[in-house]
Every structure is written in structure tokens, then in C-alpha cells.
Structure 1
Amino acid sequence: MKKTLITVGSLLLVILVAYGAGIGYYAEKFQANTEFATVDVSNLTLPEAQAKVEEVLLNKEITLTENGQEVGSIGLAELNPTFNTEEALTVTYNSQDPNQWLGNFFQSDEFNADLMSNVEIDQENLNQKLSELGLSNDQRQAPENAQINYSQAEGYTVSEAKDGNQLDIEALRQLILDGIQAGEEKIEINQAFLKPEVTSDDEVIGQYMEQIEQAKDTQITLQIQGEEVVIPAEKIESWIYFDANNQMVFDEAMIQEYVGELNEQYSTFLRPRTFQSTLQGEVTVEPGTLGWSIDREAEAAQIAEDLYSGQDVKRETAVVGTGYNSEGSDIGNTYVEIDIANQTMFIYKDGEQVFQTPVVTGQVGTDTIPGAYAIWDKQENAELRGYNPRTERDYVQPVDYWMPFDDTGQGIHDANWQSSFGGTTYQISGSLGCINTPPEAMATVFELVEVGTPVVVF
């Protein structure tokens, strides 16, 4: 019995000595089964553990692939790393109680430290390595943002955003570092491709398209001499663009072109007219000063203003010239008719003939120029001045009444020097182009005819 007690006591003493030796041993070492960020640092001193962790890190290498094809590999050692692992390892070391060393033989301590947060790499080295692997953006396709496009055939449409293969270099760096940290063997670099900044679903695209649709839906009805013209939506759409501040603008130069198209259809400037004459039936009257056109600048500015307001509108167009009226005829039913062949002047008011008189028109060589004109002035006791090509002399001729109607000097006036009017008088003593009128008739003509009255000469 005594022998047995001695044996047990000796065994306990050995165990105690061994346990104490273990405490002394692990007072300066990591305990058994200790992993620091997947690196086994069991039974290593702090400097030894730091050296091993750094060695493991230096041996880390990651393969880069692009769309499944290998493009190269990068090892951490190539990036000239600087390690700051001592502090994290020290915290781990101090968290272990040497008195508990025996328990670690039966369990493991795993410290999931973020190694890469304690590693600094040389960014220039990484850039150079990426460049060596051809991972620069020099030959790569940039992503394309969704865009609003215009074509005459389709109007405004949205083109979808397109992915490219240019790299977000900063994202690629982080991807590589994260991969090394996570112990990954491969990284797919298309995860670091630059993405389009604007897609077709973005709110800004929707806002622009909504503005365009609202503008297209604005109905502008132009009233032109009794006709109504609704500006087509596709025309409005073609005038839209967005300025540097992304504000919708209507191109007034293009609107002026459209007004010019309307003038080609409706304007009466420089156009022959058919006219129902008193003695000759329907005749063709050559262009003269009578006529109107839509004022391109004023009308374009008004159309743009209407579009900016976004309100439907119906209105008369802005016109320049003479003879415009909503009934569709710039001669109307109040006018002066001068029939050169019959050497007669007729005056009509509201469609009724109110006066008629024989006249003398221009002599051959100084003919009265046919055309549609309008009285633009009325003067009493006037002096007519000009040059007589037949006598090759300047002249001054006083008259009682003067009513000019074109821009070359033609007009209606009394002519007390004429011995007769009508017939063939104009062939031998015709005027220089004016309408010579009997003095006794001229006073009535002057009274009946207002400024602006059309004068039809044929």
C-alpha cells in the first residue's frame, strides 16, 4: 500500500513538473493548434510567427482570368509589400492564457484576422504588373451610356446602354487584394469592368422623353387666309434639342425653314394671279408689289413661344406685305382695275363697279408695267420729277392728284396735257408708265380710292 502511494505521488509530481514546464514554454510561444488567418503558428514565438505569416503571404499568388480565359497571375511578392502584422499577432498572442496550454492540445484556436489590412502594397508595382499583363484601357472598349437619339425616320428613341470591357482600375486592385486575402486562386476580372453610368431605366432618360412627348403633343393650328394648318408632331420633334444645361430648346432656325415651306405654298409675293376682268373675262396678272408672306422671324419666334408654353393654340399667322385677308384673296372685292388693251380704269367697291373712266397708259418704250400693286400714298398738288428717256431730259410736272402704286414711279394722276383719253392715244402720246387720267375724273378717283387699295394692271 505504501509503495502504491509513493508511485502515485511520484506520478503527480511528474505531471505537475510537466504542466509547469508547459506554462513556462507557452509563456513565450503560441499554444498548440493555433491558426492566425489560416496560417498555423502553433508553438512559435511572436517573431517566428510573424516571419511565418509574412512568408505565407509572400507566397500567395492569384490567377487572373477574363471571361474564363487566363490573362496572367500576380504574386504578392511582386508587389513589394510592407507588413504590419506584429500588432495583430501580439493581440492574438496576449489573448492566450499560458495556464490553459494543455487544453489547446484537444481544441484549436482560430483567429480570423484580416491579414491584408496589415499589408501595404506598392501601387506603382501593381499598376506596372497590370500593364505588363495588358490590363490597361488603351485598347479596350468603353461602356456606352443609354442615349436619346433622333432620326428623321424614327424621331426620338432611346438607345440601350452597352457594356464595354474597360477596367475600373481601382476596383480591380481591390478585387486582387480581396482575392489574395480570401485565399482565392482565381479572379475573374470582368467583375471590375466599368459599368454604364446611365441606363434606359434611369429617371433622367424618362424625364427627357416625357418632355419630348409633351412638346410633340402640343397642337398649334395656324390660320392662313381662311385655311387651317396644324403643325405636324414629327416637325415639332425635329426642332427639339437639349442645350449644355440639359434644357429642352426649340431650334428657331429650323422653325423658320418650316415657315418658309408654308410661304412656298401660301405666300402671294412674286406669283401670277388669275383675275376676273370687266371686259376680257379671266386674265393672268403678273406679280407686282401687291402680296404678302408669313413673317418668318416673327412667326418662328411665336411658334417657339407656343411650344415652350405647352398649351394648344389656334391663331392667325404673322404676315408682312399687302393684300392679306382671311377670305383667301389678296385682291379682294375692292380694287382698281386698269385694262391696258381697252385703255380703261374701273373702280370696284365691295364687288360693285362704282366708277369707270378712259385713261392713257405708257407709250411703247416706256410701257406701263403690268402687275398687281396697291396704292401706298395719296397727295394733292404734287410735283412729279424724273427723267424722260424719250426726250433724254429731266422733267418736273405739277399735278393736282398723285396716287403712286409701285416702287418704280408708276401711279395714277391727272394729265391736263392730254387732248384725249382711251382708244389709241397711248400709242402716239402715251405716258412714261403712269396712268394718265382725265382731270375731271381724277378728283372722283382720288376720293373713292384709299391707301392700301389693290391696283390690278393687265
Structure 2
Amino acid sequence: MEIQTIKRKKSVKTIIIYFSILFALYLSVSIYFNNHFYFGSVINGINASGKTVDQVDKDLSSKYAAYTLELKERGGVNEQIKATDIRLKYNSNGKIQVLKDTKNSFGWFYEIFNKKNYEISGLVTYDEKLLKTHFDKLSAFDSNKIIEPQNANFKYSANSYVIVKEVMGNKIKSKQLYADIVSAISKGETKLDLETKNDYITPKYTSTSKEILNTKTLLNKYISSNISYTYAGGKSVIDKSVINKWLKVDNNNAIIFDQDAMKTYISGLDNHYETYGKERKFTTSLGTSLKVSGGDYGWKVARAGEVSDLIVAIKNGKTIAKEPRYTEKGLNHDLNDIGNTYVELNLTNQHLWFYKNGKLIADGDVVTGKPTKDRVTPPGIYKLKYKAKNATLKGEGYSTPVSVFMPFNGGIGIHDATWQSKFGGQIYLTKGSHGCVNSPPALAQKIYDNIDAGTPVVCYLQ
């Protein structure tokens, strides 16, 4: 029993000695790290492992004395900002000591296995004006070298739209780059990759953007439209070869219709459709051929409305046959749009004919306006505005009731004239109307009973 007791006492003594050695070692290391940074410590890019505050200050001072910040730019361009450019000086203001003091030296056993990378701001001073001057002189801001970023766009090629790849350019986000440079200098960083830092202005839309792909689909839908205009003597077709010249895409990826170009195209169709007020060849009832111009009869295209209609049709990708919108309409689209239903008024011979569907319904002598500036019946081709019974004609110095009235040019119209004892000949020179066509009652009534609003009235001198 005594031997076992002795052995037990020796074991306890051994353990105490062992732990005493360990504690002494731990205490020694703790004392060492009380004045030195832990292994694996890096401060602003300087290896501070096992170094004192003074040693780290010295290393950082040397680093900043030879400091150069390299700017890596697009296109393989590299520029530098050196300590001497901006009068850069190291001045820690005790911040390294403060960092050391925050570390518990007795915790070295845990810290020694963890690498620490510290970035401390404000360890340097520099001349801000010099930095701004050097910044402004960077080649990245040379207007002759700046390439503006451009969105992906579109090109019409081989009967369809294809995407034109974006231009990344090299234009800088000036404020952001300046802030990144200040931050890099403050932290002692020696390289600044403008691409990685996202310091470039980039296109809003690239060739893979969903919006660009959708716009391409829309453009190709629009040019799939086929719109045909058929007219007397021919046909015009609006298809992709025409539509692509009307489409543009703006910087916001919106499809814009060139309405001026569309109006120009439609004006070309006017020669086929628009006859309003134009000169026409006319064969008279006496067998002579002449040209008559003026008046308000014929077809007149509503261009603005027609452009709107075309845009709707194109956006829907339609294939349609179309007739233009009109502000004024004739009776037919034949080459001779007067047709075979019309009133013919020979102002020289003072005679009127009325044809309906090519058949002579009535004719007879009439009395037209007295040939003075304020009473003459003007030549031209007009359309009958309406017809009315028991109207009262009023003007300066007169108010005259008539049985039938058929106006075709403002207040000028065909009506019965019971006050005229004779018609035709030269009577209009002395007893002419105020512009109206004075007709025998029977003739006026016959015309009234068979005519409709819109019928052409051809007035001419021969």
C-alpha cells in the first residue's frame, strides 16, 4: 500500500510539472503577442505576422512612399496614379496601435489558426486638388478617345430584321470611378480594375436582352403585313420592302413609325385616288371635248387618318385589300369618276342636260348668273349638296320662294324660276340670276324627282 501511495504522489507531481511548463510557454507566447501581431495578420497589404506596431508602421510608410495605383481599363489601357502625383504621405495617427490594442494577447491560441486581413482607412493624407487635377487628365476622359455605349439595335437584311450587337464603349461613370480611386488609395490597394468595379456606363439593352428579342419578333411581325390598294388602271402593294423603311427603334427600344415617310408614300397614291378639284376631260352633249377644272367634286384622301389605319393594320400583321379614308367622295373610281349620272350645264349656250345611268332624263334652256363679279355662275365640277322643296331664297335685296331647290356650289343651285318669261340665249346678260340656275318649272321638277345628293354638276364655258 505504501508503494502505491508513493507512485501516486510521483504521478501527480509529474502532471503538475507538465502543466507548469505548458502554462509558462502559454504565458511567454501571450507576452510576445502582447507587443506583436498574430501570425497570418495582413494590414493594408503588408504582412504584419509577428511584427510590432513600429515595424508595421515602418513597412506601411515605405509602401506608401513608393505607392502607385494602377488603373486597368478597357482595350488594354493602363494608367497610374503615383504618390508623388498627389503628395501622398503615410500618417497612421495611432490607428495601427489601436488595432493592436483591440487584440487580446491571451487569445493567441485561437487566433493563430485564423488568417486576418485588415483594411484600415485613413492611414494616408494627400492633396485633393492634385488628385482631382490628375483624375481629370486621365486618358479615359479624353473626348477623342471616348466611345459612347450603344444599345443593341436592328438591321433589315435579306427580308427580315436581325439584331446588331451592342457597342460597350469606354465611357466612364466619373463620380463612381473617383470614389473607387479614393477608396483604393485610402486602403493602400495598388490595382483597380475598372471593369470589375463596374465603372463603365453600359448599354441599357444588349443582344441577349429579353426586350431586344421581343422587339425583333415584333418588327418581323410588322413587315409580314401585306396591304394592297386597287384602283382604276392599277394596284399598289405595301409589303416588307416598303414597311421596313417606315420603322425605326429609339434608344428606349420603342418601335417608331416614320409618319412623314408614310404620308409621302400615301401622297403618291393620291394620283390614283384623289380627283378632288382636279382638271378633267369632258365630252359635252354637243360632241365637243374640253377640260374642266375647279369645283369641289371628287375624291380627297384623309392622309392623317389613312396613316393611322395603316399603322393599326401593320401592327396586327394583316394581309388586306384596302381603300383609303376620304374627306370628300365621288360616285365611282373609274378613270372618269364623273360616271354616267350627272348634270351638264353649258354656261355659254345657257342649256342644261341631266343624265342618269347614261340615259338623258331632261334637258332645256336655263338662265344662269349675270356675268358680274358678285353674280356670275362659276365653272367647275361640283356635287349636289342636297335637294329641298318649298325653299325661300334670300339675298341682299330679295327673298324669293321656289318649289324645288338643289344647291351645288354654296348658295348656288338649280331651281324653278316662274318670274323668268324666257330661258336660254342672251337673257342672262341682262336678267341673269344671282348665281343660281333659273330653270323652267317642269325642267326643275323633273330633275328634282330623279336626282340624288352627291350627283356631279359639270359647269363649263364653251
TM-score scaled by length of structure 1: 0.71
SS in 2 for 1:411: strand
Q: Which residue pairs with 2:81 in the alignment?
A: 71
Shift of 1:268: 2.1
Task: Look up the match of 1:86.
Answer: 100
Whether contact under 8 Å (2:353, 2:362) holds in the other structure is: yes
Q: Is the 8 A contact 1:175 1:192 kept in 2?
A: no
Secondary structure in 1 aligned to 2:56?
helix
Output the CA distance in 2 between the equivalents of 1:372 and 1:319.
18
CA distance in 2, matches of 1:344, 1:314: 43
Task: Tell whether 2:378 aligns with 1:369.
Answer: yes
1:277 aligns with 2:284: yes
1:296 alignment partner AA: R
Match in the other structure for 2:132: 131
Q: Quote the Cα distance in structure 1 between the aligned partners of 2:80 and 2:392.
A: 101
* Residue number among 306, 309, 326 corresponding to 1:302 in the alignment: 309
Per-residue deviation at 1:179? Answer: 6.3
**Where does 1:185-264 land on structure 2 (aligned, <5 Å)?**
194-198=199-203, 200-203=206-209, 204-223=211-230, 228-231=235-238, 238=246, 248=255, 250=257, 259=266, 262-263=269-270
SS in 2 for 1:353: strand
Distance, in Å, in 2 between the alignment partners of 1:68 and 1:211 is 43
Partner of 1:420: 422
Correspondence for 2:62 among 59, 62, 69: 59
Unaligned runs of 5+ in 2: 1-17, 72-76, 156-160
> What secondary structure does 2:135 align onto?
coil
> Partners of 1:21 and 1:95 in 2: how far apart?
12
What's the counterpart of residue 390 of structure 1? none
Return the offset for 1:315.
2.3
Corresponding residue for 2:171? 164
1:384 aligns with 2:393: yes
Bigger mean CA deviation after superposition, 79-88 or 296-305: 79-88
State how far apart, in whole Å, the 2-side matches of 1:39 and 1:110 are. Answer: 16
Q: Deviations over 1:331-366 (max 9, x none)?
A: 121111112233322222222333332323334324
Give the equivalent residue in structure 2 for 1:147. Answer: 151
**TM-align CA RMSD:** 4.5
**TM-superposition CA deviations, 1:364-421 (whole Å, max 9, x none):** 324321111122222233332224xxxxxx12333332211111x3211223333433
Q: How far did 1:134 drift?
A: 2.6
C-alpha distance in structure 2 between counterparts of 1:81 and 1:207, whole Å: 60
2:405 paired residue among 391, 402, 415 = 402
The 10-residue stretch of structure 1 (75-84 or 291-300) with the greater mean CA deviation from structure 2: 75-84
- Aligned pairs, number: 409
Residue 94 of structure 1 and its aligned partner are, at CA, apart by 1.5
1:338–1:455 contact (8 Å) kept in structure 2 = yes
Call closer, same or farther: CA 1:457–1:93 in 2, change over 3 Å.
Answer: same
Q: Which residue of 2 aligns with 1:314?
A: 321
Greater mean deviation of Cα atoms: 396-405 or 137-146: 137-146
> Within 2, Cα distance between the matches of 1:430 and 1:260?
42
- Matched residue SS, 1:201: coil
**TM-score, normalised on structure 2?**
0.70
Aligned partner of 2:398: which letter? Answer: Y
Matched, 1:435 2:441: no
Q: Is the 8 A contact 1:294 1:320 kept in 2?
A: yes
Residues 324/202 of structure 1: CA separation in 2 closer, same or farther (3 Å cut): farther
SS in 1 for 2:362: strand
Q: 2-side partners of 1:348 and 1:170: how far apart?
A: 89
Offset of residue 422 of structure 1? 3.2
Q: Does 1:115 align with 2:118?
A: yes
Structure 2 Cα separation of the partners of residues 121 and 192 of structure 1: 21
Contact 2:355 2:362 in 1 (8 A): yes
Give, in angstroms, the shift of residue 34 of structure 1. Answer: 5.8
Question: Which consecutive residues of structure 1, in runs of 5 or more, have no partner in the other structure?
Answer: 1-15, 98-108, 388-393
1:263/1:436 CA distance change after superposition, 3 Å = same
Q: How far off its partner does 1:54 sit?
A: 3.8
CA distance in 1, matches of 2:317, 2:358: 43
Residue matched to 1:5: none
In the superposition, relative to structure 1, how do residues 205 and 296 fare at CA in structure 2: closer, same or farther (>3 Å)?
Answer: same
Question: How far apart are the structure 2 equivalents of 1:232 and 1:210?
Answer: 17
Does the 8 Å CA contact 1:146/1:161 hold for their aligned counterparts?
yes
The one-letter code of the counterpart of 1:59 is S
